[in-house]
Chains A and B, each alone.
Chain A
Amino acid sequence: MALGELTTEELLENFELFDDWEERYRYLIDLGRKLPDFPETDKNDTTKVNGCISQVWMTAEIEDGPPQRVLLKADSDAHIVKGLIAVLLVVYSHKTPQEVLATDINGVFEQLELGSHISVNRRNGFYAMVERIKSLAAAA
């Protein structure tokens, strides 16, 4: 299934099928491989999300409506981070700013048992991405 067709609910259901971390991460890595292409030319200082360990690039824009929608593209040099980005895209992309702001992203990651990736270390690039998307939605 292409990434764009997946809903948050389906994602949560799919993760529930897995018994252990290994299956969960294999699926996550697989999701990361399905990320839409992020043009190399867009990997610059403006799109770069500052993080300590891996590199992340992201563009976020608001598509004119009605209704307005948040459009996201992102990439990373780490497989697991690409997978986390894929989750983020499923949850946030093509949603209205109101839906983005109403989403409990921490809750989704907790349910996926991936909570440590966004809550433990606020200095990581992933946390910065979420903040960037939320402030874009708030300004829309």
Chain B
Amino acid sequence: MSWFRKPKKPLTSEDRRDLPSDVFSKCEGCGEILYREKLSQNDHVCPKCGYHFRIGADLYIRLLSDEGSFHETESELRSADPLEFTDLKPYRDRLRAAETKSGRGDAVVTGRATVEGIGVALGVMDFSFIGGSMGSVVGEKIARLGRLALEEERPLILVSASGGARMMEGIYSLMQMAKTSAVLARLHEAGLPFISILTHPTTGGVTASFAMLGDVNLAEPGALIGFAGPRVIEETIKQELPDDFQTAEFLLEHGMVDRVVDRRVLRDEVAVLLRHLFVHDGAGFTG
């Protein structure tokens, strides 16, 4: 429950709002002034320091899947407002504004794709839709994607970016953690691979459900990944947190992710993994 938090590093949204006048970007990591087109050709990674700029779901799909291979599923699904939730603003208005702003129906895009020719079920979260929070639609789309993977015997790949559960859907948002995990239980028993890719930021109920359940967990360099948000922890323990706390590298050191992977080689690594886990060509040893 911390999608509201200010991330340690400022967000950029250059992938979605490509202002023609915006020719240069300043690197948040090292301060270098970067030519935007160069940056974009470099998968939005600073060529000098390796800082990973935030990218949206569309770019992630392009980065991971073979060109033109992605076909979206369940794009029609929309959030209801089961609690008729109103805080300072009605939830319905928040939903409408988020859809207008992000251009998508909710905080995850799902579909079929191929990665170096291997058919997969791919889901990518979008932080720009109410902080990538998981409500019923996110849970349902991931559950349906999991069932599609089961039925079509495809590996599942999920790219996470989320502040956690969407509290405007109350208990239903909490139950999406159980729903997505239950589908992963079935995938696990069916012997199908699930590769979880954690990007900046992944916290709360998403980390505490599907994002941590990969056969292999891959994390983007520098990404904030955790259960509780840093501010909540600081308030609880009344002391300042170490600088690297809850970074991808911290999680690697503490054994919570398998690898920290540079975005520029992510697709290659995923393809290698898929071949290790999934592709049987008849030759070699068998288990």
Do A and B originate from a single complex?
no
Residues of B whose CB lies within 8 Å of any CB of A are none
